Amino acid sequence: MEREPSEMSASEFIETFGHVFEHSPWIAENAWFRGLGARNDTAAGVHEALCNEIRRASQEQKLELLRVHPELGVAMGGRELGESSRSEQLRSGLDACTAEEYAEFQRLNASYREKFGFPFILAIKGYHRKQILQIFRQRIEHGPEEEFQAALAQVMKIGLFRLQELFA
C-alpha cells in the first residue's frame, strides 16, 4: 500500500479492501463513507471498521454476505473461486482430497445449504482437510440462529486473515 487507509480516496480504499469480504465491496464503501481515522491504519483497524459495517447491516444483507461465499472443497471441482478463496482452499489441501473425502464434502455442502440457506463457512487457515471435515460434521448439527452467528464470525475471521496478508 502506498498510502495509509485513512488517507485513501473512496475508490482507492474500495479497490484495496473491497475484496476482503467475498463479492461484497459495499462493506468497504460503507466504511470509507462513515469515516476513517489514524486508528484504522492497521490490519486490526481496517478490520474493525469493516466488521462494524457488517454488524450494522440488515439481516438480509448479512444473509446475502453468507450466500456469496464459495462452498468448501470446490477447489478440486473445477468451479470458479476468487483468488483468495482458491489459495486458502489449496493451502488447506482441499485440492488433494481422496474420492471419499470429495464425495463427503459434496454431500455435506448440499445438506448444509439445504438446512441453513447458505454455504458452510470456515476460516480454514491452519486447518487440514480432515480437520475441516470434522468441524463441518459438528457444525451441521447446530440450530439455524447458532449457525448463522457462527458463519458471520467465520466471515469476519477470514477478513482479518486477508487483511493481515495485505498489511504484511
Contact present, 82 and 71 (Cβ < 8 Å): no
Could you give the C-alpha distances from 133 to 27, 37, 59, 137, 153, in angstroms and in order? Answer: 30, 41, 28, 6, 19
Active site residue 23: no
- Total Cβ atoms within 10 A of residue 50: 25
Q: Which of 19, 23, 47, 69 is catalytic?
A: 69
For 111-142, letters b (16+ CB in 10 Å) and e give ebeeebebbbbbbbeebebeebbeebeebeeb
- The residue with cell 478463496 is 85
- Total Cβ atoms within 10 A of residue 58: 8
**Looking at the annotation, which residues are catalytic?**
69
